[in-house]
Amino acid sequence: MTNHDKNLNQAFDVENLPKDLFTFEKATDDAEGLTTKPISFWQDSMRRLFKNYVAVVSLLIIVVLFLTAIIAPMLSNYTLTGRVNQDYYKFAQLPPRVPVLEHFGLFDGTLIKEFTQGSLDEVGYASDEYKIVGTFTRNRIEYLKVKEYTYKYLDIEDRYFIFGTDILSRDIWTRVWYGTSISLLIGVYAAIIDVLIGVIYGGIAGYFGGTKIDDVMMRILEVLYGIPSIVILFVLFMFLTPGIVPIAIAIALTGWIGVARMIRAQFLKLRDQEFVLAARTLGASDTRIIMKHLIPNVVAQIIVMASFSIPSAIFYEAFLAFIGIGLDLSKPSLGVLINDAISSTQGAMTYVYQLVLPSLVLSTLMLSINLLGNGLRDALDPRMRNN
């Protein structure tokens, strides 16, 4: 039943309504009264953002990843480059082992290795140090799939390496989280530089839209846009020494163009809005108009742009590291770790954890930031307002 029906169904007899109802009475409600509390655009947007549970979960994941990236390397007993033990042959390529979880068969410090019957005998496992989990035939030779209880075999059952160790017997847990913070830093730096250059360049072009200044600036931008970014990067790295900031700058140099275009378009649109004209008739200076009227109206778009810019920078850096540009081995990002893992394990399935773990962190990070970016866009987009 609709509200309206309810209203109509209040039984009353039109003919015989009591006479006293027909006396004049002023409306008591203030017709112009505002009943709700005042809410600013930002409060309203945040309220909408927190209603979007995908965005909230993403935000939580990002916070957890971020905190772990800072805290984990600090609490770790191992360093980024130091070997976990003097006996580095023994401590190289150890599988992940986590207390508690190991009892459930996860991260239990085992490796799946392949042997022929002969080579298995040569290793000389004690009976509780291995388990045959399967057989297969390759090139007419029969192989055994063997689950090796590595920690037990090496007699280091008191040690736990959460993500295992790499070929140089370095602690992967420490390296992954350190790498995460490096990747995040590169992403954030790149996004800040992106937005900074983009807003200034696009802002100037947009504010002076239609004039010579705008014309020249837009032509330059079109030329830059025409050059493939990878070429720019190759040239840049001929001059730059690898490092977080140089990489961030390099990535930002190819990424700011989109921001500049967006800001220019927004400024052009806003510049002719009546509230900007009103400020000009009141005698507001250019600086005041830009800072008080234009920028605050594009902050939402800037945030959204930045939130998409961070994961793309992270990914771009990983891609560059992967193809071997801009590597800085003293400050390995997640991309460097993945590249490392591929070259050192030669793609062997036995040590695939070295590749999977940093990739998993990288993917989770990018996915969450992207989803949060989507949420921010929905929350901040003025077209969604009043719906």
Partner 1 sequence: MKETVLSVKNLTVSFKTHGGMVQAVRDVSFDLYQGETLAIVGESGSGKSVTSKSIMGLLSPNAVIEKGEILYNGTNLLKLSENDFSKYRGADIAMVFQDPMTSLNPVMTIGDQISESLINNLKYTKEQAKARSLELISLVGIDSPEKRFKQYPHQFSGGMRQRIVIAIALSCNPKILICDEPTTALDVTTQAQILELIKDLQQHFGVSVIFITHDLGVVANMSDRVGVMYAGKIVEIGTVEDVYYDPRHPYTWGLLASIPAFQAKGVELYAIPGAPPQMINPPKGDAFSLRSDWSMKVDFVHQPPMFKISETHSAATWLLHPNAPKVDRPAQLQERINVLMRMHEGGKNE
Partner 2 sequence: MSNVLLKVEHLKQYFKLDRKSKVKAVDDVSFDIYEGETFGLVGESGSGKTTIGRSIIRLYDITGGNVTFEGKQASGKLKKEERASIARNMQMIFQDPMACLNPRMNIRDIVAEGIDIHKLAKTKEERDEMVYAILAKVGLAREHAGRYPHEFSGGQRQRIGIARALITNPKLVICDEPISALDVSIQSQVVNLLKKLQKELGLTYLFIAHDLSMVRYISDRIAVMHKGKIVELADAEELYNNPLHPYTRSLMSAIPTPDPKSEKQRARFAYDPSQHDYTTDEPKMREIRPKHFIYCNEKEFQAYQTEIA
Residues at the site binding partner 1, with contacts judged by CB under 8 A: 2-5, 7-8, 10, 12, 14, 17, 19-27, 29, 31-32, 387
Residue 20 touches which of partner 1, partner 2, none (CB < 5 to 8 A by kind)? partner 1
| SS3 at position 115 | strand
- The phi, psi pair for 53, rounded to 5°, reads -70, -25
Considering the complex, what minimum distance in angstroms separates the CB of residue 381 from partner 2? 13
Helix (H) or strand (E) holding 143: strand 141-149
Nearer to partner 1, 32 or 158 (CB): 32
Helix (H) or strand (E) holding 145: strand 141-149
| SS3 at position 279 | helix
Considering the complex, what minimum distance in angstroms separates the CB of residue 283 from partner 2? 3
Q: Residues of 309-346 as b/e, b for ≥16 C-beta within 10 angstroms?
A: bbbbbbbbbbebbeeebbbbeebbbbbbbbbbbeebbe
Query: What is the amino acid identity at position 150?
Result: T
Contact range with partner 2 by CB under 8 A, out of 103-111, 121-129, 269-277, 339-347:
269-277
Per CB under 8 A, 387 contacts partner 2: no
CA 80 to CA 90: how far, in whole Å?
A: 19
Residue 29 touches which of partner 2, partner 1, none (CB < 5 to 8 A by kind)? partner 1
Partners of 130 in the β-ladder: 148
Residue among 51, 90, 219, 288 that touches partner 2 (CB under 8 A): 288
Nearer to partner 2, 245 or 384 (CB): 384
Residue 103 touches which of partner 2, partner 1, none (CB < 5 to 8 A by kind)? none
Residue 3 touches which of partner 1, partner 2, none (CB < 5 to 8 A by kind)? partner 1
Residue among 134, 296, 324, 347 that touches partner 2 (CB under 8 A): 296
8 A C-beta contact, residue 180 and residue 69: yes
Residues 10-49 that bind partner 2 (CB under 8 A): 32, 34, 36, 38-41
Per CB under 8 A, 219 contacts partner 2: no
Collect all residues with Cβ–Cβ distance below 8 Å to 110 and sequence separation of at least 6: 95, 147, 148, 149, 150
Per CB under 8 A, 363 contacts partner 2: no
Nearer to partner 2, 175 or 271 (CB): 271
Strands, DSSP E only, in 177-226? none
CA 78 to CA 174: how far, in whole Å?
A: 7
Residues in touch with partner 2 (CB under 8 A): 32, 34, 36, 38-41, 273-275, 277-285, 288, 292-293, 296-297, 299, 382, 385-386
